[in-house]
Amino acid sequence: MALGFYALSLWRKVWSIQRQQRNATREQQQRLGEDLKILASSLLEGQLPLIEGAIRIKVLLDNFDIGLSQDSHCQVFHQLYEATAHVPTHADWKALDKTSRRQHEKNFSELELQHKAQARESARWLLDAIATWPSRA
């Protein structure tokens, strides 16, 4: 009988931990969804550079919902991410000589011209998709 109560006590702890993990996951998903909305809106309003926005959106999407990330509407974010993956960031960017920086900046401008309309369309689609996301899950 004592073993039965002990087993029940252990199971209650397991169930409590599982509930806490589900709640933490749900909260993380909500935060990621809100961050994606902010990024997509900022990209649409021109408050965020296209390349930076696409990279950030792609990374968050991969963590938010890989299925949504792989949707054809989001392909432009992956394309821009891959096209700029080789570019140094942070201190490495600052360490580049001016010629190298200018070459990267020229590439960014060309990518923006080539993909701006599609990225804006994808950002609009993403806002709608996120708004209905919980019903998709």
Residue ranges per structural domain of the chain: 2-136
Token pair of 86, please? 């080789």
pLDDT at position 135, please?
A: 56
- How many C-beta atoms surround the C-beta of residue 115 within 10 A? 19
Q: Is the pTM value of this prediction over 0.85? A: yes
pLDDT along the chain (137 residues), means of 10: 92 97 95 97 97 97 95 98 96 95 97 98 97 70
As a whole number of angstroms, the distance between CA 7 and CA 57 comes to: 46
pLDDT at position 1, please?
A: 84
pLDDT at position 136, please?
A: 52
Residue among 136, 123, 25, 35 at smallest CA distance from 74: 123
